[in-house]
Amino acid sequence: NWGEKALKPYESIAEVARLGAEIQEAIVVWHIATDILLAKLGKLTVRIEQQDVLDLDVGAIKAISQFMMFLLVKRPAMLPGLAQIKLYQRTEETLAKEWGDAAAADKLAPTLKPPASWIHSVCTMFMEQLRCGGPNSDPRLQRREKLAKWLYEHMPELDEHGKSSRVRFGIQLARRLYEREKTEKDSLQIVLALWTDILVFTANRCSRESHAKQLSRGGELTTLIWLMTEHRHRHEESG
């Protein structure tokens, strides 16, 4: 299953990682947790070219996290299982409500324009980067950072009915990762390993028909990974 191998050495993180959940839900939860963790570490809005060499993992984390959200919203056929359009729409509704609460709490409501969509903004920026190769920085990203920090500091893990949501799962996971970072200094490596695991998992669980259709449109990163793993397995079998 996705994530089990990557998180096996980290029991405290695996406890809140949503292992066993559908891959679409996992992508949403881990994307939210990733944004919050990077925001708390002051790395969400930093351009790749401004980062220290030791922060190269951050660039890889951002790239895979945004790419997986892009597939979820724009290329759902490239993910295993049924398309979960409602999943990210409901998550966006929750985030929009929390943004309103954050603006009111900050007493900056007139100056804080709510993001049209946290998740959709990720996909928009990803498309802009594909077309222009530009850095991942614009006002939407700054609003995501502000909301991410507010969620970490103020949003409880359960709502008034004692229920959790994907947003709250993401916050709980981000808090666990951030607390670990204070002592172990390895949270970014854990997140990168997890996203890499998800990337390979989705590449190998996507249907052959979807891979073939996408190849006719120019291909996709997950299709390249699938072809590489297929080649490796056949080489091992023949050897």
Q: Is the pLDDT of residue 38 over 50?
A: yes
Which amino acid is it at 180?
A: R
pTM above 0.85, yes or no: no
Whole-number percent of the chain with pLDDT over 70:
74
140 pLDDT more than 90: no
Query: Is 60 exceeded by the pLDDT of residue 4?
Result: yes
pLDDT at 112 over 60: no
| Chain center to CA of 54 | 21
User: Of 133, 173, 126, 161, whose CA–CA distance to 15 is shortest?
Assistant: 173
Q: What is the DSSP letter of 144?
A: H
**Helical packing angle, 118-132 and 56-74, nearest 10°:** 110
Q: What is the Cβ-side half-sphere exposure of residue 75, based on CA atoms within 13 angstroms?
A: 26
Query: What is the reported pLDDT for 49?
Result: 55
Q: Calculate the average pLDDT of the chain.
A: 81
d(CA 197, CA 18): 14
Q: What is the mean pLDDT of residues 178-194?
A: 96
The one-letter amino acid code at 239 reads G
H-helix or E-strand spanning residue 230: helix 221-238
Per residue in 214-231, pLDDT tens? 888 888 899 999 999 888
d(CA 213, CA 227): 14
